[in-house]
């Protein structure tokens, strides 16, 4: 029996096995951990806003006992990982090195600047900015300021109309609203996946669900996934949102503000608003593909018929907050095939 098979994975997030005594012999395997073992790593190290989304159906995992895991999917000979490795930051390079030993075509999607730095400096990857993520400090956040006027107006209107927001709802009513909402989307016959986790998950854990009602009718909902650090929920990210077109003023801002106030009263520190794709800096950084960065800028400016890049950024930027750069790691200067694979895995076609 191999050393990897003998090593007992962590039973809970506070008991991660020290790898140092046999680091040169231990090997990672695909889909090795049980759900309980995977959750132990997630609760200890799942601080990326997409960490919880790694649990979505169809994902595979490169698991390294005592260290953590990397979530991925494969298509057409390409492997696409999502989010930062779920492990101690000190072990990221070790986990990435183990993953890349098989020399498969691997592209990294929606990773932090820190992980991008490792991929470029240690493994020679291009690491190009593909957007920003916006984070809010809930304990200091408020509705004051000119930029937040649209939030105040929306909240006041919903209150005046008698909108009620609760955390209780029957699943069937959410599905009915989803079917109605999908008819208004550019991709109308299926939900987006991979980059956005599906509405239905086998494991939901500490997911929070807020629903807006008007005269007994469900007019919108937002599902918030947990963000973890050291076995505690330190933040949430809104990953699923659906709205009825019959409430013309829109219900997203009132739902968000209500949930944020609930979280703040509970002592939650952060709200992560998630990815704003293709919002990139004017200057190029070391490691970036200048050609891909130029294409990203052009898509953001001229590609809004395909996807509302500017609209999504405007909506999230109204909350204020700090912007963190998001990167992709790719071997090719222009990762044309990985882009196609990502769109296919995301159900765009």
Domains of the chain plus CATH, in order, are 3-135+282-302+325-345 (3.40.630), 136-274 (3.40.630.30)
Question: Sorting pLDDT into bands at 50, 70 and 90, what band is 8?
Answer: very low
Instruction: Give Cβ neighbours of residue 129 (< 8 Å, ≥ 6 apart).
Output: 280, 281, 285, 288, 293, 296, 325, 326, 327
pLDDT at 349 (0 to 100): 62
* Average pLDDT estimate for 81-96: 97
Question: Sorting pLDDT into bands at 50, 70 and 90, what band is 67?
Answer: very high
* pLDDT higher than 60, residue 10: no
Question: Sorting pLDDT into bands at 50, 70 and 90, what band is 280?
Answer: very high
For all residues of the chain together, what is the average pLDDT? Answer: 89
262 within 8 A of 234, measured Cβ to Cβ: no
**Which has more confidence, 132 or 195?**
132
Q: Provide the whole-model pTM.
A: 0.88
pLDDT at 318 (0 to 100): 96
The interaxial angle of helices 252-265 and 149-161, nearest 10 deg, is: 100
271 within 8 A of 138, measured Cβ to Cβ: yes
pLDDT at 13 (0 to 100): 37
* pLDDT higher than 60, residue 9: no
pLDDT at 191 (0 to 100): 64
Q: How, if at all, do strands 208-214 and 232-243 pair? A: unpaired
**330/189 Cα distance (integer angstroms):** 31
* Average pLDDT estimate for 131-141: 97
* pLDDT higher than 80, residue 211: yes
């Amino acid at each position: 029996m191999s050393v990897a098979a003998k090593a007992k994975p962590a039973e809970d997030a506070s008991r991660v096995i020290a790898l140092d005594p046999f680091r040169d012999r231990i090997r990672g395997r695909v889909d090795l951990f049980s759900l309980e073992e995977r959750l132990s790593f997630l609760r200890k190290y799942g601080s990326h806003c997409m960490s919880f989304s790694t649990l979505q159906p169809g994902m595979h995992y490169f698991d390294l006992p005592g260290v953590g895991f990397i979530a991925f999917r494969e298509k057409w000979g390409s492997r696409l990982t999502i989010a930062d490795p779920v492990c101690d930051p000190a072990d990221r390079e070790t986990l990435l090195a183990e993953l890349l030993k098989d020399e498969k075509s691997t592209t990294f999607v929606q990773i932090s600047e820190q992980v991008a730095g490792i991929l470029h400096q240690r493994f020679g990857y291009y690491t190009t900015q593909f957007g920003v993520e916006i984070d809010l400090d809930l304990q200091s956040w408020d509705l004051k300021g000119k930029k937040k006027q649209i939030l105040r107006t929306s909240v006041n209107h919903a209150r005046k109309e008698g909108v009620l927001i609760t955390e209780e709802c029957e699943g069937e009513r959410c599905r009915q609203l989803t079917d109605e909402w999908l008819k208004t989307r550019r991709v109308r016959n299926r939900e987006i996946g991979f980059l956005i986790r599906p509405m239905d998950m086998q494991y939901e854990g500490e997911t929070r669900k807020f629903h807006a009602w008007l005269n007994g009718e469900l007019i919108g909902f937002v599902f918030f996934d947990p963000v973890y650090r050291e076995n505690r929920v330190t933040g949430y990210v809104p990953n699923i949102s659906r709205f009825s077109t019959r409430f013309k003023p829109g219900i997203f801002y009132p739902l968000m503000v209500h949930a944020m106030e609930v979280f703040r009263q509970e002592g939650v520190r952060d709200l992560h608003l998630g990815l704003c794709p293709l919002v990139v800096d004017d200057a190029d950084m070391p490691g970036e593909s200048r050609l891909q960065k130029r294409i990203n800028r052009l898509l953001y400016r001229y590609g809004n018929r395909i996807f509302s890049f500017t609209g999504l950024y405007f909506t999230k930027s109204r909350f204020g907050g700090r912007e963190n750069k998001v990167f992709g790691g790719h071997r090719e200067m222009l990762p044309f095939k990985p882009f196609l694979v990502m769109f296919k895995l995301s159900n765009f076609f």
